[in-house]
Each structure stands twice: as structure tokens, then as C-alpha cells.
A = this chain, B = another copy of it.
Amino acid sequence: MINQLTAKIQKLHAPIVVGLDPMLSYVPEHIQKEAFSAYGETLEGAAEAIWQFNKAIIDQTWDLIPAVKPQIAMYEQFGVPGVAAYQKTVDYCKSKGLIVIGDVKRGDIGSTSAAYAVGHLGRVQVGSKKLPAFNEDFATVNPYLGSDGIQPFIDVCKEEKKGIFILVKTSNPSSGEFQDRLIDGRPLYEWVGEQVAKWADTCMGDAYSYVGCVVGATYPEMGRILRKTMPKSYILVPGYGAQGGTADSLRPYFNEDGLGAIVNSSRGIIAAYKQEQYAKFGPEHFAEASRAAVEAMIADIARIF
């Protein structure tokens, strides 16, 4: 799957991923109204609203982008109906040929991580059958529990040719509280990065590994160092746009080959119609605003090469 991701990025000249993180406040009134009139102001109604919102954005952007990254929290907040909308979104994106990165940030002890790995990337044994469940192409994973928590994901990646992005340095303001603490003179995130590089070596695609990492766009100096620490890992870069990261700060995340990073934008794309520069589209044409924002993001990032 890392080979397909690389190929799609090259073909589209677009090292980007659209974060499908649908807060209900991003969903235009007319879509909310329609969903609530069908299902009431219920979890089902909310799930229907975010699904219709996603579908319209996917329909308007799928041909421009290699991948999407639904953030499962935004669906889980609506309970089981929300999780069903997550599944629908994953399936629909895959039917459009998009690569799906499940932003699930799971991680637990061995047998439990194995269940997450199987449920999100693999196939689960049910009687005599092995069945896919959520079936994303990639998943994000939390490293706090160490190798026991990561290895089951790597095992499934090898079996299914899928991939993971392990949190190394996250984009949020307080990420340094633990991640930046110095251990033998070097920050924790570097130690995690070194471990990621070792895991990556065990699970190679053609040029890049099935094991990638997450490094926030908001910390380019750290990105520069971590790029060298993990040369064979794709870096999933959140924090561009709404969180404050700019295209200029993104160069260090890429390798000399112009590859090795994929930049996420969520709010900046899916809620583009709420920004002044795309206000002309209006809430009725929110998905077209998203398309325009994708085009602008691709052009913005192209500048740095």
C-alpha cells in the first residue's frame, strides 16, 4: 500500500491528504436540516449529516488527491451510528480509489493491539472465515506502550501489505510536555524516531517502508532532524493550515527525491467555505469550496520544490 501511495502522490503531484474530520458545526445548515428531518435530532441524524457532508466533499475532490484521513473521534462522538458513518466513509473513499488512512491513534498491550490491528487493517477469524472489519489502508498508532503495542500492527502490515504511521512528535502546543523531555541529552521523540526507523527496516515496500510516522508541521526544526533519523519512513504531517504550519516550513519533511512526506489538511479543506477567501461559494456550494482549497493547497506545496 505504501507503493500505491507513493505512485498516486507522484501521478497527481500532490503529497497531500484530506482530513475528513467532520465537526457538526462545519456541516451547512441545509444538510443538517435534511438529516434531522429524516432521523430527528438524534445520533442517527448527526451521523447522516456528517456522512452526506463527507460524500459531497469526496465527490468533488477524489480525482485531485491520493488519500483521505478520517479522524475516528469525530465519528465516535456520535456513538454507534457515528462509527457506522465512519465505516461508510471508509468504504466510499475506497470505492473511489482513494487510499484511506484511519486516524485512530490506537495502541495497547500485545493481544489488545493485535485486536486493533486485525480490526482496522487485517481480517478477523470468525468460525471458518477470515473477515475484514473496518478495513482502512493505513492506521495511526500511539507508541507509549513500546514494541508489544506496535509489533502486532507490523505483523498485520506484512500480511496485508498495509501500513501504519506511529506518533513521534505531534502537532499540538503541549506535545513537548513528555515528547521533548531529554533522555541522555536527546528528546524522547528522537528515541521514538530511532525505534520507528528500526521497525521500518523490518517492513519495507519498494523505496519506502510500510511503517511511517507522524511529525507535526508546527515543529519544522524537529522535522528536519527526524527526516534524517527515519529516512525510509513516510512522514504524515498534520498541522498545515488551520494549526499554523506553512508550506515553507514543510520542505524539511521531504527527502531529496521529493517524496517521503504527506501533508494533511482537515478544517482548511472541509470547512473552506467558512473562510473569507472561499466565502463566495456559500454554504450551498461548500464542496466546490473544498475543491478550490485542495487546488490551492497543491499549488502552495508545489512552490517548495
Contact = CB atoms under 8 A, between A and B. Distances in A.
A79 B134 contact: yes
Interface in A77-132: 77-80, 82-84, 87, 105-113, 115-116, 118-120, 124-129, 131
Contact of A143 (B32, B74, B144, B188): B144
B74 A134 contact: no
* A41, A84, A126 pick with most chain B CB within 10 angstroms: A126
Given A76-B116, A133-B77, A107 B142 contact: yes
A257 interface: no
A176 to B, nearest CB: 7
Contacts of A167: 144-145
Contact of A119 (B73, B120, B134, B172): B73
A178 B76 contact: no
Nearest to A84: B80
A171 interface: yes
A148 interface: yes
Interface string A9-36: 0000000000001011000000010001
A217 interface: no
Interface in A140-198: 142-149, 167, 170-179, 181-184, 188, 191-192, 195
A109 B148 contact: no
Contact of A170 (B41, B109, B175): B109
A125 B182 CA distance: 41
Given A41-B127, A42-B131, A77 B176 contact: no
11 contacts: A41-B126, A41-B131, A74-B112, A76-B120, A80-B87, A144-B178, A144-B179, A145-B170, A146-B176, A147-B177, A181-B191
